[in-house]
Chains A and B, each alone.
Chain A
Amino acid sequence: MTTDVTRQSLINIEHLVGHATLQDLGREHAQHLGFSASGVADLHAAAYANQQLGNTVSNPVIELALAEITLTSSINIEVCITGAVCQVSIGGKTKQQWQKLSLAAGEKLSISRPTNGVYVYIALAHRIATDEFLESVSPVPDAMNVTANIHPLKAGASLALAQHVDEKRLETGAIYQPVPNNFYTFDKLTLRFIPSDLWRRLDECEQDLMLSQSYGITRNSNKMGYRLNGVSLPLSSNHYQQLSRPCAFGTIQISSDGLPIILMKERQTIGGYPIIGHVMQTDLFRLAQLTAGNTVTLCPVSLSFAQQQLHMLYQRLNII
């Protein structure tokens, strides 16, 4: 779909503090080889940014994780900044997030470290010409040598732009959505989850213990998994002797200390801890924006409700 790469058009990273990577939808189809699904942590924000520019959802975006960045472009280009709350300026003038913005050649786009949330996304109205591995530009966590040409972004680096000949983009055009003010919750997010068979076998007191408390997000949380802190739920030892089985996005494992770990985009593909359910995906995009000190509660929902919510989000963001 992308052809005629013009290496002259560049995005130059003038300043970067923190972790920044190129990300797309990841490698969900390569989990049978042991690859983490990976990809954008907050699909809602990344897809929204691409949608504002008329890009397809798989167009690579720059993902900033608690980072600040200044970049320039060698050509006039449209951009969209979404995700965590931060200060955005172009040529020294404050700009809004969640909108299509024009960045003139040589102008500086500056994005501050987030004041609320974790991940900020920068979508560009051109495809970035970069290496792929197993059909994704996302770095492979814990096996960077597998993808020697795919690595985190650095200050002083330049990203080459392909001329945008994404056919789908030309057909679709930009689709403007209202700014999603109510999507994110930074104060006590309720994580709705699809209960597992193990959850249904817990007694009422054990279920109440988990549903009635607020869990704190610990500092040991990252894109691989979110570790929660609270009153532990000791499970009988036979639950910990089960054979390792595949782990999905949103798996709620109970670690040996009786506390939940929620598996995120860079999870391992297989794990052996007991599982009480899976957080529905629309809430996982919200969870990805929370950090140590934020709190969450748990609430069971049906599979059909979770599917309906995700389907609506996909439709709104033109993912299907």
Chain B
Amino acid sequence: MNTTQQLRVTISDISIEFITENAVLLLWPENIDEAQHHHILAIQQEINSRLGQKLIDSVASYNSLIIYYHFTSLSAEHLFFVLSEIISETPTSSSLILTANSNDKTSVVEIPVLYNEVAGWDLATVASATKLSCNDVVNIHSQSEYRAYALGFTPGFCYLASLDECLILPRMQTPRIRVPKGAVAIAGSQTAVYPNESPGGWHIIGQTPLPMYSLSEGFSPTISVGDTVKFRAIDEEEFQRLGGQVQQESR
């Protein structure tokens, strides 16, 4: 096959598209699905191990994986051959998730959250839009477990899913210019913590004192892709004891 002429090829439901001079995008069906995500990470691990120095980086997301490679030392044709081999040799999604569960290797990250109407700038709005009480919103958000599907947007920002259906709301129509560091927020079927002050269009329902990364050895994110994340409701006293300082919305 000549990948330079035929840019997109599908193998076992996974499309392989050479999108730039040095990047190839692998796309799985358009679903947020834990088993599928296990498959993406297994393939990413195998690619990282086989390409070695010819690889620049690889970034996984919900249903996609991008491979940045040194095109001057690895041709698109050869890379396509390697990817085809890896895809055909990597176990299917369902057997992967069984193996992952039985080995119980997934890290569980617990995030303490102060949920109230001072820390949760949009808690009341979310409650009203979802026709729930503020307590219900907090209980539903903190009772679920979430999977870390992707790191992106800003260093340490991890996309977590899936939110209970009764909390699903579109993003804010006009994003805020300033979302505080540690804001716990929801949008669509996703939830996340803002690692730093930044602009943002997600609904803020609480704040955490837990930093989202450590700089002691280069850069270590608190949540890694593939981790399981749980939110734990805490009171203001514990929030302060953990070093938190509630950021109020300036109007």
Residues of A within 8 A of B (CB): 28-35, 133-134, 140, 142-143, 145-146, 194-197, 242-246, 248-250, 268-270, 278, 280-281, 302-304, 306-307, 310-311, 314, 320
Contacts and interface: CB of A to CB of B under 8 A. Distances in A.
Contacts of B25: 245-246
Interface residues on B, range: 35 or more
A246 B155 contact: no
B151 interface: yes
Contact of A143 (B8, B150, B154): B154
Contacts of A248: 19-20, 23, 66, 68
Interface stretch (B51-59, B96-104, B129-137, B237-245): B51-59
Contacts of A269: 59, 151-153
Nearest to A249: B20
A246 B4 contact: no
Given A243-B63, A250-B20, A194 B7 contact: yes
Nearest to B65: A246
Interface of B: 3-5, 7-8, 15, 17-21, 23, 25, 27, 30, 32, 56-66, 68, 71-72, 76, 150-157, 159, 195-196, 198, 213, 215, 218-219, 221, 225
A242 B152 CA distance: 16
A306 B7 CA distance: 13
Given A248-B23, A320-B72, A34 B196 contact: no
B217 to A, nearest CB: 11
5 contacts: A28-B57, A32-B60, A146-B213, A246-B61, A268-B154
Given A197-B15, A246-B25, A311-B72, A134 B218 contact: yes
Given A197-B8, A246-B59, A306 B64 contact: no
Nearest to A282: B21
Given A143-B154, A146-B213, A270-B61, A34 B221 contact: yes
B63 A245 contact: yes
Given A33-B155, A248-B66, A278 B57 contact: no
